[in-house]
Amino acid sequence: MKLGKGFQGSAALFARMDDDDGFRGWDLCAQDGEFSTHLVHKWQNDAIKVSTTGKTWKTEQWQHVFVTYDGSGKAEGFKIFVDGKESKVKVEANTLKSTTKTETPMLVGQRKKSLMLNGAMLQDIRIYDRKLSAADVRRMALQEKAKALLAKPLAERKPKEKDELFDITADADPEVASLNAKAAGLEAEQKAIKDRGNVAHVMEDCFVKLQKKGALQCAYSVISNGHLSLPNR
């Protein structure tokens, strides 16, 4: 999609939503600098809304916007990707309990009666019957860029462009994908171990010889969970 110069406000990129029936249905919108998606039975007491953060949209340039949903009926099941990268999102509604099916047809550039899209261009709208992985979305977003980079003679490609091209092609390699998945699993396991443990700071780790009743003793001080443990004397 490409938003024109001076584009502002809110508009539906595409939607299947009935304004006359509590906004039942779903959509993908550009709203006040962000991209948002709704899944609604009746707005807003029985609905989901998730939006990007950080003024994600850009005017006068093409952007790839993609939403995935796991069918859970929860806002946490949504992810929004912009130019192949997962965006940070905020949940604005998470109360869906009922069906979102509607007789209203899917429309491009508006809901049934509202949020008409003007001053923008859309290209290559796709709907899948399965949830795509982050790697799938990234490849899709970058495939046109990859074509342009591959068309360049090797000697003319900048180091950054070579790295981008490697990342794109590596995503499609099953062995690399498997190794990346294993690395991600190990990182998650490491984080879980750290989260379970207690942090202990050694304040002084030297042995002090204490003379007590003719015997040598060793002592050291430790701060654990914010409390100072002093040696017995």
- Pick left, alpha or beta for residue 146 (phi over 0 → left; psi -120 to 50 → alpha; otherwise beta): alpha
Q: Measured between alpha carbons, how far is 203 from 220 in angstroms, rounded to an integer?
A: 8
Give the number of domains in the chain.
Answer: 3
Tell me, yes or no, whether 67 and 10 share the same domain: yes
107-146 pLDDT, tens digit per residue, is: 999 999 999 999 999 999 999 999 899 988 988 888 877 8
Tell me, yes or no, whether 108 and 157 share the same domain: no
Q: Are 76 and 39 in contact (CB under 8 A)?
A: no
Is residue 25, in this structure, part of any structural domain at all? yes
Q: Which tokens go with 199?
A: 């942090």
Q: Are 222 and 213 in contact (CB under 8 A)?
A: no
Q: Is the pLDDT of residue 35 over 70?
A: yes
Is residue 191, in this structure, part of any structural domain at all? no
Radius of gyration of the chain (CA): 27
Tell me, yes or no, whether 148 and 123 share the same domain: no
Tell me, yes or no, whether 12 and 99 share the same domain: yes
Tell me, yes or no, whether 151 and 73 share the same domain: no
Give the pLDDT confidence score for residue 207 in this predicted structure.
Answer: 47
Is residue 222, in this structure, part of any structural domain at all? yes
Tell me, yes or no, whether 30 and 85 share the same domain: yes
Is residue 59, in this structure, part of any structural domain at all? yes
Is residue 22, in this structure, part of any structural domain at all? yes
Least confident of 3-7, 64-68, 154-158, 200-204: 200-204
Q: Is the pLDDT of residue 60 over 70?
A: yes
Tell me, yes or no, whether 124 and 65 share the same domain: yes
Domain extent for 155: 136-186
